[in-house]
């Protein structure tokens, strides 16, 4: 008997948090309840989500940058439907799947330098794992250098390159021989590379944490150093790629920057099927698969599946058909101008970091005495709290999903689909304006909600501290 998915969804509507809490992750549900993200979603389309009451939301979280072409895109669905309806076999295992070959060819056409070879996997972190292994095999070295505040995934190898101690805590020791340097600090980079044991320098051209746009000068100088000391450059485009930055890849904003390995995932899947890719040069790839008995020495069972490959091919088509690189730049600029116009009017609002549709809104210490006291008070409780004071009312009062851009950074990040309407931009800008007006009234109702959450966070923190000290 076929199962009735809609029936399961109907039956669990409104109860999903309870069931999830019982059988999956109760700590996560606690966080979601605290910040008001405990909604029951019933529908998603384009840049919108609907909850069970029929309320429409603007999804600028986009599953951390997966939905560059929006949800339920007809072109992606059509390609997937064709695969489902076809009797063409996937995952034969001992095979050279044609859709994978074509997607690899299409990807290498769009990447800078002479990258001509692709390894496919199922997630961002796996794409990074492959890149680390490829760099080690190709250079015969084992060390790597990453940047502070970096995020490259959470499997053990990728976690070794994480620039945030809180992610690594409890799982160490990880891979040995990983070193962090500050973005911009070329002396520190050279000091480490000059030891001659570094296989790879791994970076996000725009760091997801804080939307930190690395400068052209820094990355070109880092490339010179990597060439000088024979270290491979691994460019993590998992969040910034697929048109997010207004170029196909964010590294393409920098003329002459030619990474040796580029990792893609998230939006590459078109939003339905997990997919990751590690794109490199033939000689690097061949250093891994260097003999017949090592022909699949790095592989994964579910790599190169027909659904994932069709999703990837159709996602590339949508980028072209809808002219999404240009739209990403135009719409991103609309956001930037709108936010910049507000900066002089709101003391907490400090500026905007934007490239295409990767956008960080910066907050900081105000000038007036009463607001300064409010700022000091929330930051004393929790350094994440102020940004939550923006995220929570954007959701509660204006039905917009956004996120805090990492631990202890007063930055709210938005990653809207690249094909949103101008009216969606206006929806967001009007909402941000309203949230700012309310937060600049201290004391006031916006601060009361914040203090309630802050006290709760404080209790959790105290409990954690006491459990780590006993």
Shortest distance in whole angstroms from residue 407 CB to ligand PLP: 14
Among 202, 238, 318, 400, binds ligand PLP (CB under 6 A): 238
Contacts of ligand PLP in 54-73 (CB under 6 A): 64
At a CB cut-off of 8 Å and minimum separation 6, what does 48 contact?
56, 57, 58, 59, 71
Give, as one character, the DSSP assignment of residue 263: E
- 108 phi, psi to nearest 5 deg: -70, -25
Query: Tokens standing for 410?
Result: 């007063």
CB of 153 to ligand PLP, least distance (A): 3
Q: Is-contact 366 347, C-beta < 8 A?
A: yes
- Under the binding rule (CB under 6 A), the answer on residue 123 touching ligand PLP is yes
Name the β-bridge partners of 198: 143
Q: How far apart are CA 146 and CA 162, in angstroms?
A: 8
Q: Which of 111, 239, 247, 402 binds ligand PLP (CB under 6 A)?
A: 239
CA 417 to chain centre: 13
Per DSSP bridges, beta strands 358-363 and 276-280 are unpaired
Identify the DSSP state of 311: H
Part in contact with ligand PLP (CB under 6 A); list of ranges 112-120, 150-158, 405-413, 441-449? 150-158
Task: Give 64 or 302: the residue with its C-beta nearer to ligand PLP.
Answer: 64
Q: Which residue is nearest to ligand PLP (CB)?
A: 124
Half-sphere exposure of 111 (CA within 13 A, CB side): 28
Decide whether 208 or 305 has the Cβ nearer to ligand PLP. Answer: 208
Under the criterion CB under 6 A, does residue 278 sit at the interface with ligand PLP? no
Pick the piece of the chain touching ligand PLP (CB under 6 A) from 27-35, 151-159, 250-258, 367-375: 151-159
Interaction of residue 151 with ligand PLP, rule CB under 6 A: yes
For residue 125, state whether it binds ligand PLP (rule: CB under 6 A): yes
- Residue 66: CB minimum distance to ligand PLP, A: 9
Choice from 265, 280, 306, 402 touching ligand PLP (CB under 6 A):
265
Q: Contacts with ligand PLP in 168-227 (CB under 6 A)?
A: 204, 208
Residues near 131 by Cβ (< 8 Å), separated by ≥ 6? 200, 202, 234, 261, 263, 278, 280
Least CB distance to ligand PLP at residue 274 (A): 7
Length of the chain: 470
**242 forms part of the interface with ligand PLP (CB under 6 A):** no
The DSSP symbol for 266 reads G
The footprint of ligand PLP (CB under 6 A) covers 64, 123-125, 128, 151-153, 204, 208, 236, 238-239, 265
């Amino acid at each position: 008997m076929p199962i009735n998915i809609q029936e399961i969804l109907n039956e669990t509507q409104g109860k999903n948090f309870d069931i999830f809490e019982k059988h999956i992750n109760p700590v996560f549900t606690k966080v979601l309840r605290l910040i008001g993200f405990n909604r029951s979603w019933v529908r998603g389309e384009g840049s919108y989500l609907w909850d069970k009451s029929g309320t429409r939301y603007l999804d600028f979280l986009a599953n951390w940058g997966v939905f560059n072409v929006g949800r339920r895109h007809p072109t992606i669905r059509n390609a997937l439907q064709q695969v489902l309806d076809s009797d063409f076999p996937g995952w034969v295992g001992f095979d050279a799947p044609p859709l994978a070959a074509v997607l690899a060819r299409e990807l290498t056409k769009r990447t800078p330098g002479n990258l001509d070879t692709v390894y496919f996997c199922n997630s961002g972190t796996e794409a990074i794992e492959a890149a680390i292994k490829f760099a080690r095999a190709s250079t015969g070295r084992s060390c790597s250098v990453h940047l502070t505040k970096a995020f490259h995934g959470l499997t053990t190898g990728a976690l070794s390159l994480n620039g945030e101690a809180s992610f690594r805590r409890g799982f160490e020791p990880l891979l040995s021989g990983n070193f962090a340097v500050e973005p911009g600090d070329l002396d520190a980079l050279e000091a480490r590379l000059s030891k001659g044991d570094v296989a790879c320098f791994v970076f996000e051209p725009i760091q997801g944490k804080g939307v930190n746009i690395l400068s052209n000068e820094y990355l070109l100088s880092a490339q010179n150093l990597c060439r000088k000391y024979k270290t491979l450059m691994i460019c993590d485009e998992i969040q910034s790629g697929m048109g997010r930055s207004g170029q196909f890849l964010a590294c393409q904003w920098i003329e002459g920057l030619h990474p040796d390995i580029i990792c893609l995932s998230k939006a590459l899947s078109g939003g339905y099927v997990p997919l990751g890719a590690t794109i490199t040069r033939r000689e690097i790839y061949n250093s891994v698969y260097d003999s017949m008995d090592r022909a699949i020495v790095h592989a994964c069972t579910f790599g190169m599946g027909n659904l994932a490959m069709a999703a990837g091919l159709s996602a590339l088509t949508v980028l072209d058909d809808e002219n999404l690189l240009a739209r990403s730049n135009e719409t991103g600029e609309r956001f930037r101008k709108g936010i910049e116009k507000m900066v002089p009017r709101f003391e907490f609002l400090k500026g905007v970091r934007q490239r295409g549709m990767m956008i960080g809104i910066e907050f900081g210490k105000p000038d007036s005495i009463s607001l300064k006291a409010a700022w000091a008070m929330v930051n004393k409780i929790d350094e994440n709290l102020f940004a939550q004071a923006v995220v929570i009312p954007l959701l509660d009062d204006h039905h917009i999903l956004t996120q805090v851009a990492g631990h202890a950074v007063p930055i709210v990040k938005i990653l809207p689909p690249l094909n949103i309407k101008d009216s969606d931009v206006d929806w967001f800008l009007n909402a941000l304006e309203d949230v700012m007006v309310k937060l600049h009234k201290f004391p006031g109702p916006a601060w009361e909600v914040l203090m309630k959450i802050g006290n709760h966070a404080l209790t959790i923190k105290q409990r954690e501290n006491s459990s780590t000290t006993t």
